[in-house]
Amino acid sequence: MTLALHRLPGRYTAPVLAVLLATAVSFGLETVQNWLPSRVPSNDFGCNAFGSLLGAGLAQFVGPRIFNRIAVWQSRLIAPIPHAELGLTLLGLWLLIPLSPETLLFGAGDLRQMLGLGGAVPFAAESFVLIEASITAFNALAVGLIVRLLCARLAQAYVVVPLFLLLGLIVRTLATAILVGPGDAFTWLTPGARMGLLLSGGALAVAIALPATARLMLAALALMAGAILVNLAPPNPYSAAALAVWRQGHFLNFNGLTRWVATLWPFLTLPFLLLSSRRQ
Q: How confident is the model over 4-28, as a mean pLDDT?
A: 89
Distance CA 150, CA 88 (A): 8
Q: What is the DSSP letter of 183?
A: G
- Domain match, 269 and 150 both: yes
Local confidence band at 207 (pLDDT 50, 70, 90 cut-offs): very high
Ramachandran angles phi, psi of 276, nearest 5°:
-70, -20
| Whole-prediction pTM | 0.74
Residue 136: pLDDT above 90?
yes
Distance CA 166, CA 154 (A): 19
Q: Which of 22-31, 206-215, 248-257 is predicted with the least confidence, judged by mean pLDDT?
A: 248-257
Last residue of a domain, one of 73, 95, 116: 73
111 or 143, which is more confident: 143
Structural domains counted in the chain? 2
Q: How confident is the model over 16-23, as a mean pLDDT?
A: 92
Q: How far is CA 170 from the centre of its chain?
A: 14
Domain that holds residue 32: 13-73
- Domain match, 140 and 176 both: yes
- Domain match, 46 and 120 both: no
Give the pLDDT score at 119.
55
